[in-house]
């Protein structure tokens, strides 16, 4: 796949004014979303105080957001002298975010409302995840979603598209977990032309990390990491609430780092991934094509699977130590296309290295946790990218 461009072109003064307006609108939405996560609401004066904007500016933004159906008045609150202040909240179904995850054998789709609630999920099987096959599946899925009552194209804020990396041709290209035929495609333009929507492109691990931020176990955290089990193994990193991308969108390709194991040095993905588990089972004449197959083998205490689990736990400890000392996350979440019970077994009583910056006596979070979004994590994260963009004020500087 081509690299994901995030360069900012020089803008005119008018464009800068428009970006400032969008920034301020996002700040209001962000304030209301934060209040929502606390089970609360917010009024004009509180938003003005937090943003540094004037009451009049906040009133204008609120009027615009109300007209667009994104927020609504929800009562009044006494705040000392004067009239009770009108309170506002985000309208759950005022708009939606569409998310697609492209895997080697399937296309997964989710639709989230503005509260991050899942409105629908769809799966389309793919013989091969070529651009033509994916395009056809995306068109059919979008058509089916827009046929649902109360949905219309104009109510969809945008589409998130997630895929396994690396993006572009690199020294680690050519692995089984990658997709065929995407190397020469500029994915953002391809997706926007296809779906007629603004598109955000991300690798599957960063998308999984964003899903946990929007509606999973890392809500409220600004710094954390996510080990994502897709076909291979990826690392999503959230710093200051934003995904870490790198120069070409390839930050987090942890699966290709070689680690020391009793049998010798191997790429992490060759041991700690779904493909590695399936290959280990296949070498013992056991087939497990789906997460359900793997879950059944685990519950049956399959000796071959338990043998892999012992080796995977050693590899996981090495990975955790590396991530902690390089990135200093608040915690590391495990998620993706692995059965929850198997992820729990990976994490349980893991002998983590105490020579780590994460081994602090004042910790309030476990060093490693299991994500809550399940096998649809990256597809949820694709839609969560759109919501995060809508709720995160950010002004980029001119080039």
Sign of the CA dihedral running 232, 169, 201, 192? negative
Q: What pLDDT does 175 receive?
A: 52
* Model pLDDT for residues 125-135, shown as the tens digit of each residue: 998 889 999 99
Task: State the pLDDT at residue 344.
Answer: 93
CB 110 within 8 A of CB 99: yes
Tell me what pLDDT residue 9 has: 38
Written as six digits, the tokens of 62 are 């609120």
- Whole-angstrom CA distances from 386 to 9, 50, 149, 227 are 21, 24, 22, 21
All structural domains of the chain with their residue ranges: 17-90, 96-210+380-391, 222-374
**Distance separating alpha carbons of residues 155 and 148, to the nearest angstrom:** 12
Contact predicate 8/32, CB 8 Å: no
Q: Which residue has the higher pLDDT, 394 or 378?
A: 378
Question: Token digits for 125?
Answer: 């099987």
The pLDDT of residue 174 = 52
* Owner of token pair 């109360």: 150
* Residue 332 confidence (pLDDT): 96
Question: Residue 334: pLDDT above 90?
Answer: yes
Residue bearing the bigger pLDDT, 181 or 193? 193
Is the pLDDT at 345 greater than 60? The verdict is yes
365, 187 contact by CB (below 8 A): no
Whether the pLDDT of residue 15 is over 50: the answer is no
**CA nearest 94: which of 75, 112, 121?**
112
Q: How do residues 276-316 score in pLDDT, each as one tens digit?
A: 999 999 999 999 988 899 999 999 999 999 999 999 999 99
Contacts of 194 by beta carbon, 8 Å cutoff, 6+ apart: 135, 138, 139
Model pLDDT for residues 30-79, shown as the tens digit of each residue:
888 888 877 888 889 888 888 888 889 999 999 999 999 999 998 888 76
Which of the four CATH numbers 3.40.50.880, 3.40.50.300, 3.80.10.10, 3.30.420.40 does domain 96-210+380-391 have?
Answer: 3.30.420.40
Please state which CATH number belongs to domain 17-90.
Answer: 1.10.10.10
Q: How confident is the model at residue 18 (pLDDT cuts 50, 70, 90)?
A: confident
Strand 224-229 and strand 233-239: pairing?
Answer: antiparallel
CA distance 154 to 279: 45
Write down the pTM of the prediction. Answer: 0.76
Residue 44 host element (H or E): helix 44-51
Q: Give the largest Cα separation in the chain, rounded.
A: 76
At residue 347, the 3 state secondary structure works out as helix
Average per-residue pLDDT in the chain? 85
Q: What are phi and psi of 122, to 5 degrees?
A: -140, 150
For the domain spanning 222-374, the CATH number is 3.30.420.40
What does the buried/exposed string (b/e) look like for 278-303 if buried means 16 or more CB atoms within 10 Å of the residue's CB?
Answer: bebbeeeeeebeebeebbebbeeebe
Question: CA geometry: angle at 222 spanning 207 and 373, to 5°?
Answer: 40
CA distance 97 to 382: 9
**pLDDT on residue 22:** 85
Residue 343, classified by CB atoms within 10 Å of its CB into exposed (0-12), middle (13-18) or buried (19+), is buried
pLDDT at 263: 80
Can 96-210+380-391 and 222-374 be said to share one CATH topology?
yes
Checking if the pLDDT of 7 tops 60, the result is: no
| Gap between the Cα atoms of 74 and 90, Å rounded | 10
| Residue 8 pLDDT greater than 50, yes or no | no
Residue 150's pLDDT band (cuts 50, 70, 90): confident
223-281 pLDDT tens trace: 999 999 887 899 999 998 888 877 766 777 898 889 888 888 889 989 999 989 999 99
Return the number of other C-beta atoms located less than 10 Å from residue 321's C-beta.
19
Bridge-based pairing state of the strands 106-113 and 71-77: unpaired
Which has more confidence, 68 or 82?
Answer: 68
Rg (CA), the chain: 22
Residue 84, helix vs strand vs coil: coil
């Amino acid at each position: 796949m081509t690299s994901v461009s995030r360069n900012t072109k020089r803008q005119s003064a008018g464009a800068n004014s428009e970006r400032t307006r969008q920034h301020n609108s996002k700040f209001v939405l962000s304030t209301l979303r934060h209040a929502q996560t606390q089970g609360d609401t917010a009024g004009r004066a509180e938003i003005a105080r937090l943003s540094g904007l004037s009451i009049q500016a906040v009133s204008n933004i609120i009027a615009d957001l109300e007209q667009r159906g994104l927020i609504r008045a929800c009562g009044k609150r006494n705040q000392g002298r004067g009239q009770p202040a009108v309170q506002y909240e985000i309208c759950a179904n005022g708009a939606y975010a569409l998310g697609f995850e492209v895997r080697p054998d399937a296309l997964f789709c989710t639709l989230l409302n503005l509260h991050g609630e899942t409105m629908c999920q769809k799966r389309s099987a793919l013989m091969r995840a070529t651009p033509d096959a994916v395009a056809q599946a995306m068109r059919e899925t979008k058509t089916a979603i827009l046929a649902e009552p109360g949905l219309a194209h104009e109510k969809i804020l945008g589409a998130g598209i997630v895929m396994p990396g690396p993006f572009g041709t690199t020294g680690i290209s050519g692995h089984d977990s990658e997709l065929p035929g995407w190397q020469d495609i500029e994915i953002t333009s391809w997706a926007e032309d296809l779906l007629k929507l603004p598109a955000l492109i991300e690798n599957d691990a960063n998308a999984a990390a964003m899903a946990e931020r929007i509606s999973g176990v890392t809500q409220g955290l600004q710094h954390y990491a996510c080990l994502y089990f897709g076909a291979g193994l990826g690392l999503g990193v959230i710093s200051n609430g934003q995904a870490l991308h790198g120069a070409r969108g390839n930050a987090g390709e942890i699966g290709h780092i070689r680690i020391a194991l009793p049998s010798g040095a191997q790429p992490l993905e060759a041991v700690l991934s779904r493909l590695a588990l399936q290959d280990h089972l296949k070498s013992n004449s056991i087939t497990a094509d789906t997460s359900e197959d793997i879950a059944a083998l685990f519950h049956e205490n399959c000796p071959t699977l338990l043998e892999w689990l012992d080796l995977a736990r050693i590899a996981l400890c090495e990975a955790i130590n590396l991530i902690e000392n390089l990135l200093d996350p608040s915690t590391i979440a495990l998620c993706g296309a692995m059965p929850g019970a198997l992820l729990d077994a990976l994490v349980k009583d893991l002998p983590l290295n105490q020579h780590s910056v994460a081994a602090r006596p004042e910790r309030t979070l476990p060093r490693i946790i299991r994500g809550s979004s399940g096998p649809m994590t990256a597809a949820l994260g694709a839609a969560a990218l759109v919501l995060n963009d809508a709720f995160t004020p950010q002004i980029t500087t001119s080039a």
